[in-house]
Amino acid sequence: MSAMWQGCLAHTDYFELRSSGGYDYGVWVTTPPGYDPATTPAPAVYVLDGNWAVGMTAPLIITQLDPMQQIQPYIQVSVGYAGEEAQHWARLRNRDLVPPGEPIAQEFLDAVEKGFQAGVMTREEADAYLAELSDTHADAFLSFLTAELHPRIERDYGTAASGHGLYGYSYGGLFSLYTWLSGSTLFESVGAGSPGVVSTDSQVFAQLEEMGDSRHAARLHVTFNVRELLGDLAVYQSITKNTAALLHRLTSRSGAVTSAILDETHVTGLQASFLSYLRTCRAR
């Protein structure tokens, strides 16, 4: 990493990896202060939306030295997009983080149209953003994380054999729910911040039905923001309502599920949500 980036993101390496599906990913790896895998190997925590999230979440690795509430050592692996595609991360994430067959709710279509009308995106950008939702592959991305990326992290950074975590926000939070409900055995804790459960027909509800009375050993921590619920954007209201409905059904059957309501907006909630995950699932 260049001296400039090293100053901003201490103890952080960057590399790029092409998946077996032919997609290029950028990976930032932030190690704990004084990390020595030979003596104290640490588990990995995978953080989604690396192009956006790494700058707000990677510095929180210093919480492992907080004398008032120490966090268990972890290596942060932030996963985003590389090369020319990096500038399109906001739409490419739709392909990777959304479960196959996820319906596109009208509230979401209205929000994208509102973004176009406000000049946040061009018509071409809006169309491309929605096009990625027509053929979504969270299953393939989960396989990439567990079967391709994790073995490299294990090899290059000497990770611990267990204790790994996953954190995602918004559609990344939807992916976290999808991963936890699928029963993936790699992650022992999963954080889902303001998960993008926009539709009442979301695939995560179908997964919950398939789960039946079974229990997952992994911990799940879900957060959402009060300003999403009380604001005037229907898409965020739907996210909080549907997440609350899912939580009600989850917490009634599993003590491994926790949640928190944060006083943030959808945009400002990322860092607070990640910190809530650390404090709840990874405290000493």
pLDDT in tens, 64-120: 989 998 899 999 999 999 998 899 999 999 999 999 999 988 888 888 888 888 888
Any long-range contacts for 241-250 (C-beta under 8 Å, 24+ apart)? 242/197, 242/198, 242/199, 242/200, 242/202, 243/194, 243/195, 243/197, 245/200, 246/177, 246/197, 246/204, 246/205, 246/208, 247/222, 249/208, 250/208, 250/220
Question: Model-level pTM?
Answer: 0.94
The span from the CA of 84 to the CA of 80, in Å, is 12
Span 10-33, pLDDT tens digits: 899 999 999 999 999 999 999 998
Compute the C-alpha angle 236/262/194, nearest 5°: 40
Domain that residue 159 falls in? 3-281
Compute the C-alpha angle 181/32/276, nearest 5°: 45
User: Which pLDDT score, from 0 to 100, does residue 130 have?
Assistant: 86
Give the total number of structural domains in the chain. 1
Residue 7 binned pLDDT confidence (cut-offs 50, 70, 90): low
Residue 3: which residues within 8 A CB-CB, separation 6 or more? none
Residue 266: phi and psi, rounded to 5, are: -65, -35
The more confidently predicted of residues 84 and 173 is 173
Distances, alpha carbon 254 to alpha carbons 146, 186, 211, 273, in Å? 25, 19, 12, 21
User: Which pLDDT score, from 0 to 100, does residue 173 have?
Assistant: 98
Q: What is the CATH number of the domain that holds 195?
A: 3.40.50.1820
Residue 259: phi and psi, rounded to 5, are: -155, 165
Mean of pLDDT values over 43-57: 97
Any long-range contacts for 236-245 (C-beta under 8 Å, 24+ apart)? 236/266, 237/107, 238/105, 238/107, 238/197, 238/198, 238/199, 239/194, 239/195, 239/196, 239/197, 239/198, 239/266, 240/194, 242/197, 242/198, 242/199, 242/200, 242/202, 243/194, 243/195, 243/197, 245/200
Confidence check: pLDDT of 210 > 80: yes
Q: Report which listed range, 34-38, 42-46, 70-74, is most confident.
A: 42-46
Confidence check: pLDDT of 1 > 50: no
User: Which pLDDT score, from 0 to 100, does residue 278 have?
Assistant: 97
Confidence check: pLDDT of 4 > 50: no
The more confidently predicted of residues 130 and 258 is 258
